[in-house]
Amino acid sequence: MSLEINDVSLLLGDGDQQVKALDHVSATVQPGELIAVAGPSGAGKSSLLAVCGGLRQPTSGTVSIGGTRISSMSPADLTRVRREKIGFVFQLSNLVPALTSLDQLLMLVHLQGRRPNKADREHARALLDEVGMSHRADRRPNQLSGGERQRVGIARALMTSPEIMLVDEPTSMLDHNRGHAIVELLAARCRDHGVATLMVTHDRGMLDAASRVFNILDGKLSEAV
């Protein structure tokens, strides 16, 4: 399924303090594509992810997944969509300290209200293998490097077979070589799984693996040429 952002604006604050965080933004991310959005701090990157993930309602415009508008859904329906349709990869990996790499993935099955079965465990192990972490399945986050934690985070985001992936500054805590490897891995996994992926970053050295690149500044989005 595609991610469609149509003429989205987002106003934050009140009165004289009101700021246009997004200014008539439009873009479409197709299945298997990794679209990178580059811009400095405060340009609107986090606001864009928040709107696409249903964490904020746009002031105007629409966000759709596979033709279904999420920008007008009820809170309960949005929660279901985030749980079943969207995978999030966080800047700091956001792993649960007490859980092993394998259990980080199986936790998502528990959040769906059921106990993991044999197929779930095989699926989780296969995803860890895809990101080169099968040999670290029994390790907790404090036993992993920053790059390894991000690899587990990518596998976890794929665990529920999402239609959409939203990726927030995945390389900010890594050196250039490790960061580039993470973005290449992310692009390959999303291409292989047919997931429409939107990644925001301030680091323009991480754009080579992207299908397309957009720039964002003062809430305005434009495709790089």
Q: Where are the domains of the chain?
A: 1-85+162-225, 95-161
pLDDT tens profile 23-67: 999 999 999 999 999 998 889 999 999 999 999 999 999 999 988
Joined tokens for residue 70: 């999420």
Answer yes or no: is pLDDT of 205 > 90: no
For residue 202, name the pLDDT band (cuts at 50, 70, 90): confident
Pairing of β 212-217 and β 34-38: parallel
Q: Which amino acid, 67?
A: G
pLDDT tens profile 112-123: 888 999 999 999
CA atoms within 13 A on the CB side of 87: 27
Mean of the pLDDT values across residues 186-214? 90
**Residue ranges in the chain assigned as alpha helix (H):** 45-52, 75-84, 101-111, 118-130, 146-158, 176-193
Q: Which amino acid, 64?
A: S
| pTM (two decimals) | 0.88
Q: What is the CATH number of domain 1-85+162-225?
A: 3.40.50.300
Tokens 């997004």 correspond to 22
Q: Residue 135: which H helix or E strand, with range?
A: none
Tokens 């952002």 correspond to 5
